[in-house]
Amino acid sequence: MKNYYNFVLLLLVMLLTAGCEFDDYDYLEESDNYFDELNENALEFDEFLAITSSGFDSIRVDSNYCYEFEYYDSLTDECVFEVMCDEETDECERVDIIYDEFLLYLENKDYITQDFSISHHGSIEDIDLIVEFYINSNDNLELLMGSDIDEMSMSIWDEFSFLIPDSLRPDLRYFGIFTDGVDETLAYVSQRDYVENPHIWYLAVDYLDYTSQNKEEFYATLIHEFAHIFSLENSQLDYYYEYDCIYLTVDDWCFYENSYLNLFYEEFWKKELYEFHFNLVQELGSEEEAGYELYDSYPSYFVTQYAATNILEDFAESFMMYVLLSNNQIQNSPRVVSTQKIIFFNNFDELKEMRIQIRDNLEKLNKMN
Ligand SMILES: [Zn+2]
């Protein structure tokens, strides 16, 4: 039995604190809003287990002296690590025991204590980076912002750059590390300087998801992000158009006639989906909500539920499946629109080659793990 909103069930929520002075704080007197906010940040019990069993070699401590998996609550001046546990089983008792052990384990470790200078880049997801690197011409990383280069950032980068070699991504010039906790966003790409250099992209990865997710999901996400990069690069679209764009338009972008995304649009979205999706977004107020509706209405049109979010995600998810599925799996897939979207990429020799190369690298990476 779990409940985020029921006030009575508050006792099920364990407020775990570490690293800060713990003042006596009568939280029961605070407003309901306060609890709603806290509960939004609460981890599921499984997520809690993933963190406490992740065996960090080093733990960062932020400028409020919170461990990296905690958040700082300015209202109480505490670092908070909040877990949803079920009192009817022994979960809550186990949380107490496991977390005490975990803190003891951390005390015996050397921490990287660092005041992060968090800067804002106006990313798509609006998430601040913790560490940022410039990718130089030899595909090596130069630290721009954040802590020293640590092992985890390097191994994430090593795996990505092995999976997707630099020859495939000339416009990717920055790499960042962030976290929004376990799950939610695993990685994203964004333009770093939308005004001056709209064609320069960065990739950001959530290090907590890197440690807690299985590798298969992690690699799949990297392939998805890569699909955004190559389909949104300079050769594909005009980032600021001031004319009547007769091809696919997304925000300020006008895609060129023979761009991958415009061809994908012509084939799969133009006739019925585009307008239907547009109206759903107007009606429901978000692409996420519209995606659920769209997927419900046209389940066989999309390779995943997430693909129905918008055409850019549809393209990225379809490309991801194109790379991940074997020839046999593709041939044996039902003859529906979602499979046609996967086969669409075979129209381009360079994408066929890309698929072979990435599949080959993926196999090598899986052998190494
Ligand atoms: Zn995406």
Q: Give the model confidence (pLDDT) of 204-258 as tens digits.
A: 998 888 887 678 888 999 999 999 999 999 999 998 888 889 999 987 889 999 9
Same domain, 255 and 284: yes
Same domain, 195 and 244: no
pLDDT higher than threshold 90 for residue 87: no
pTM over 0.85: no
Q: Of the candidates 176, 170, 119, which has an alpha carbon nearest to the alpha carbon of residue 143?
A: 176
Q: Which of 31-35, 192-196, 319-323, 356-360 has the lowest mean pLDDT?
A: 31-35
Last residue of a domain, one of 198, 231, 264: 231
Same domain, 178 and 279: no
Q: How close is the Cα of 259 to the center of ligand 1, in Å?
A: 18
Per-residue pLDDT averaged across 260-274, rounded?
A: 93
Same domain, 33 and 152: no
Q: What is the CATH number of the domain that holds 190?
A: 3.30.2010
Residue type for 320, please? M
Q: What is the pLDDT of residue 212?
A: 75
Q: How close is the Cα of 18 to the center of ligand 1, in Å?
A: 35
What b/e sequence results for 176-185 when a residue is b if at least 16 CB atoms lie within 10 Å of its CB, and e otherwise? bbbbebbbeb
Q: How close is the Cα of 128 to the center of ligand 1, in Å?
A: 18
Q: How close is the Cα of 294 to the center of ligand 1, in Å?
A: 17
Same domain, 226 and 261: no
Q: Would 123 be classed as within a structural domain?
A: no
Query: For 291-341, how does the pLDDT look when each residue is reduced to its tens digit (9 = 90+)?
Result: 999 999 999 999 999 999 999 999 999 999 999 999 999 999 888 999 999
Q: How close is the Cα of 189 to the center of ligand 1, in Å?
A: 8
Same domain, 336 and 269: yes
Q: Would 72 be classed as within a structural domain?
A: yes
Same domain, 142 and 203: yes
Same domain, 246 and 336: yes
Contacts of 14 (CB under 8 A, 6+ apart): 82, 83, 85, 92, 95, 96
Q: Would 209 be classed as within a structural domain?
A: yes
pLDDT higher than threshold 70 for residue 266: yes
Q: Which residues span the domain enclosing 309?
A: 237-368
Residue corresponding to tokens 């795996």 = 159
Q: How far apart are CA 312 and CA 277, in angstroms?
A: 13
Q: How many domains does the chain have?
A: 3
Between 191 and 38, name the one with better pLDDT: 191
Same domain, 329 and 355: yes
Q: How close is the Cα of 306 to the center of ligand 1, in Å?
A: 9
Which two three-digit tokens encode residue 255? 């895609």
Query: For 19-48, how does the pLDDT look when each residue is reduced to its tens digit (9 = 90+)?
Result: 222 233 333 333 344 344 456 667 788 888
Q: Would 100 be classed as within a structural domain?
A: yes
Between 355 and 94, name the one with better pLDDT: 355
pLDDT higher than threshold 80 for residue 78: no
Q: What is the pLDDT of residue 111?
A: 44
Q: How close is the Cα of 5 to the center of ligand 1, in Å?
A: 30
Same domain, 363 and 242: yes
Model confidence band, residue 262 (pLDDT cutoffs 50, 70, 90)? very high
Q: Would 287 be classed as within a structural domain?
A: yes
Q: Which of 70-74, 84-88, 94-98, 172-176 has the lowest mean pLDDT?
A: 70-74
pLDDT higher than threshold 80 for residue 183: no
Contacts of 281 (CB under 8 A, 6+ apart): 287, 290
Alpha helices in the chain (DSSP H): 32-41, 45-52, 91-107, 151-163, 207-212, 215-231, 260-264, 273-284, 287-297, 311-324, 327-331, 337-344, 349-368
Question: What's the chain's average pLDDT?
Answer: 79
Q: Would 22 be classed as within a structural domain?
A: yes
Last residue of a domain, one of 231, 258, 274: 231
Q: What is the pLDDT of residue 368?
A: 87
Q: How close is the Cα of 225 to the center of ligand 1, in Å?
A: 6
Q: How close is the Cα of 88 to the center of ligand 1, in Å?
A: 39
Which two three-digit tokens encode residue 281? 């977004």
Q: How close is the Cα of 135 to the center of ligand 1, in Å?
A: 21
Q: Would 296 be classed as within a structural domain?
A: yes
Residue corresponding to tokens 């133009």 = 270
Same domain, 138 and 249: no
Q: How close is the Cα of 154 to the center of ligand 1, in Å?
A: 23
Q: How close is the Cα of 224 to the center of ligand 1, in Å?
A: 6
Q: How close is the Cα of 116 to the center of ligand 1, in Å?
A: 27
List, in sequence order, every residue forming a beta bridge with 60; answer none if it has no partner: 112
Q: How far apart are CA 95 and CA 84, in angstroms?
A: 9
Same domain, 189 and 254: no
pLDDT higher than threshold 60 for residue 1: no
